[in-house]
Amino acid sequence: MTKSDLVVRMAQAAGWPKAATERALRAMLAGVRASLKRGDPVTLVGFGTFSVARRKPRTMKNPRTGQSVTVGGRTPRFKPSKELKQAVR
């Protein structure tokens, strides 16, 4: 499912215009992104928790240029809730 498909389904479920639904989705994603950037977890009850995991920075090679690049030590994580796990099963 693409972002556009999600907007259509959300608009139908909420009875909102697609433009308003897309703005709401963009605002929600921006809020999640900003919270994770600060290192704050985001919990959506019944869905799951987005968080930032720390790991040791490492050096990798860019496959196109062969140049060494340092990859940061922070990576996003998602832990699904029990309800989401049961719904998918």
- HEC secondary structure over the chain: CCHHHHHHHHHHHHCCCHHHHHHHHHHHHHHHHHHHHHCCCEEECCCEEEEEEECCCEEEECCCCCCEEEECCEEEEEEECHHHHHHHC
For residue 28, what pLDDT is reported? 98
Every domain of the chain and the residues it spans = 1-39, 41-89
78 has a pLDDT exceeding 90: yes
Per-residue model confidence (pLDDT) at position 65: 92
Q: Which CATH superfamily is domain 41-89 in?
A: IHF-like DNA-binding proteins (4.10.520.10)
pTM equals 0.79
